[in-house]
Amino acid sequence: MITTNGRISRQFNIASNWDVPKRRRELFPKVTDVEWNDWHWQLRNAATSLETVVKYGKFQESERAILTRVIEKYPVVIVPYYLCLIDFDDPQDPIRVQSFPTGEEIEFADIGEPDPLQEEDDMPVPGLVHRYPDRVLMQVTNVCPMNCRHCTRKREWEEGLWTRDDHEIDRIIDYLRETPQVRDVLISGGDPLVLGTAKLNRILAKLRAIPHIEIIRIGTRFPVVLPQRIDQELVDTLSKYRPLWVNTHFNHPREITQEAALACDMLQRGGMPMNNQSVLLKGVNDSLPVMRSLCHELLKIGVRPYYLYQSDPVRGTEHLRTSIWKGLEIIEGLRGHTTGFAVPQFVIDAPGGGGKIPISPNYLLDETKDGVILRNYEGFVFEYKNPIPKEKSEETSERKRLFRGNERLNRRKKYHGNLPVFTSEKHYHGQRNQVSANVKNGQTRKA
C-alpha cells in the first residue's frame, strides 16, 4: 500500500481513462518518482515563460506577439502534473482552456471589472472580506499552484507575488477576536496551501484560540491541479483544528484522476469533509453530459457538488463566460434526473458585493387562494394546498416582508467612510494605497 515518497497506492473507481503516468513519461521522461511527488519540485518547474507556453501549447510563431502581451498582463503558472492532463492535439481541450493563455484575454480588455464583487470595499482590515453577517473570507496570499484563466481575483496577478506577513495576520486575528458575531472563517487566497505547513499551523492555531469561531474552511485547488501537496504531514495538521471543511474546485471530469482521488481520500480519512465549487465555463463544462459526469465522479471520490458559479464578469475572462440560461438548462437537466445531493446550487455572485444569489429553474408556477401551482422535473403540474390557518394573522406574505437594515453597507461606511472608490487599477490586495475619487488635493489614505 506504500509507494515511493510515502504515497499510498490504491485504485479508485473513477471513469477517467486519461493515463497521467503515460503522459508524464512523454513530457518528463527524466524526472524521478521522488521529484514528481515533491510539490515543491512541481512548483519550481511550472511552465511560466513564453518559451514553455509556446513549446507545450504548440502555438504558431505568429502567435508569439499576442501571447507576449497576454503573459505580461496575466502571468502563466502551470505545474508539470496539470500539463499531463492536457490533450495538446486539441486546441479546444477543456483542461487547456482553463490553464493556457489566449489572445482573447486582452482582446476583450474593456469588458468586465477588475473587482466586480467589490471585495476590497468589504475589508475592515487588509486581507479580510466581511460581507455576510456571521462569516468572513481571509485572504492569506495571492500565490496559486496554477493561474486559472477564469480567476475572480485575476486583477492581483499584475501586483506580483505576495503572502501576508505575521503582522498582517495578527491584524486580521485582532479584528476577529473583537467581532463575536463571526463564527465561520474561510481561508482563501490565492491558494492557502501554498503556505508551508508550519505557517498554516500557526494561522489555524490563532483562529482556533478564538472561542466564537466555530467553523474553519479552506478553499484550495491543490487536490485538482497539484494533488502531491496533500501529504500526511498536512493532513495531520489540518486534523488538529476540526471541524474543518475543505472546499475544492474541479471543473471537468478529466481532472478527477487517480492522483486527485487519492488526495481527496487522504483529507477525508483525516476527518475533513469536502465540497466542490465549479465555475460554469464556455468550452469546459457548459453541457449537461459533462456536468452530470463531473457531479457523479465527484460523489464517487466522496466530494459533494456544492456550488456551480455563474462566471463573474471579471476583466480578461469574457471569452469564458456563458449565459445564465445555460446554467439553468444544466440544473434543469440534473434536478430529478439524478441523486439530489449530486445537484450543485447554481449561484450568481452579485456585482457590487451583493453576495451569492441562488438561481433555479421555475418550479413554482402560480399562487392560488389557498396554495400554489407547482411543476415537477418531468413537466407535470400539481396543485399544492397550504394548511388552513387558525387565524388570518398567521398568514405572512413574502411580498410584504420588510428588509432589515443592511449590516454590510453599515460596515463599509464604518471602516471606509466615503473612500470605497479606486482611482487606480493597481494595488488591489487589501486596500493598499486606496485613494478616494473625492479627494482633489492629492492626499491619500493607506490602510
In the chain, CATH 3.20.20.70 sits at 120-358
pLDDT at residue 432 above 50?
Answer: no
Model pLDDT for residues 17-59, shown as the tens digit of each residue? 789 999 999 999 999 999 999 999 999 999 999 999 999 998 9
> DSSP letter at 229?
G
Rounded (10°) CA dihedral 172, 160, 99, 86: -110
Going by C-alpha positions, the residue among 34, 86, 94, 47 that lies closest to residue 228 is 34
pLDDT at residue 427 above 80?
Answer: no
| Helices assigned H by DSSP within 108-196 | 166-177
pLDDT at residue 11 above 90?
Answer: no
pLDDT score recorded for residue 437: 36
pLDDT-derived band of residue 396, with 50, 70 and 90 as boundaries? Answer: low
pLDDT score recorded for residue 9: 58
Model pLDDT for residues 348-369, shown as the tens digit of each residue? 999 999 999 999 999 999 999 9
What is the C-alpha to C-alpha distance for residues 185 and 244, in angstroms, rounded to an integer? Answer: 10
Q: Confirm if 309 and 275 have CB atoms less than 8 A apart.
A: no
pLDDT score recorded for residue 418: 55
pLDDT score recorded for residue 416: 72
> DSSP letter at 391?
S
pLDDT score recorded for residue 390: 73
pLDDT at residue 424 above 50?
Answer: no
> What is the overall mean pLDDT for the chain?
89
Strand partners, 310: 280
Taking residues 113-135, what's their average pLDDT?
Answer: 94
User: Which residues contact residue 369 at a Cβ distance below 8 angstroms, ignoring those fewer than 6 apart?
Assistant: none
Active-site residues, by number, are 131-132, 135, 144, 148, 151, 153, 312, 349, 356
pLDDT-derived band of residue 147, with 50, 70 and 90 as boundaries? Answer: very high
Going by C-alpha positions, the residue among 129, 155, 143 that lies closest to residue 229 is 143
216, three cell numbers: 474553519
391, three cell numbers: 387565524
Q: Bin 379: left if φ > 0, else alpha if -120 < ψ < 50, else beta.
A: left
176, three cell numbers: 476577529
| Helices assigned H by DSSP within 186-305 | 197-208, 222-225, 232-239, 258-269, 288-300
pLDDT score recorded for residue 398: 52
> DSSP letter at 141?
B
How many Cα atoms occupy the beta-carbon half-sphere of 381 within 13 Å?
7
Model pLDDT for residues 235-269, shown as the tens digit of each residue? 999 999 999 999 999 999 999 999 999 999 999 99
pLDDT score recorded for residue 339: 95
pTM of the model: 0.88
Q: Confirm if 250 and 308 have CB atoms less than 8 A apart.
A: no
Q: Confirm if 108 and 318 have CB atoms less than 8 A apart.
A: yes
pLDDT-derived band of residue 446, with 50, 70 and 90 as boundaries? Answer: very low
What is the C-alpha to C-alpha distance for residues 424 and 72, in angstroms, rounded to an integer? Answer: 18
CATH architecture under which domain 120-358 falls: Alpha-Beta Barrel (3.20)
pLDDT-derived band of residue 227, with 50, 70 and 90 as boundaries? Answer: very high
Q: Confirm if 249 and 274 have CB atoms less than 8 A apart.
A: no
Lowest mean pLDDT, pick from 94-103, 156-165, 231-240, 315-324: 156-165
pLDDT at residue 401 above 90?
Answer: no
Q: Confirm if 118 and 420 have CB atoms less than 8 A apart.
A: yes
pLDDT-derived band of residue 105, with 50, 70 and 90 as boundaries? Answer: very high
pLDDT score recorded for residue 278: 98
User: Which residues contact residue 378 at a Cβ distance below 8 angstroms, ignoring those fewer than 6 apart?
Assistant: 336
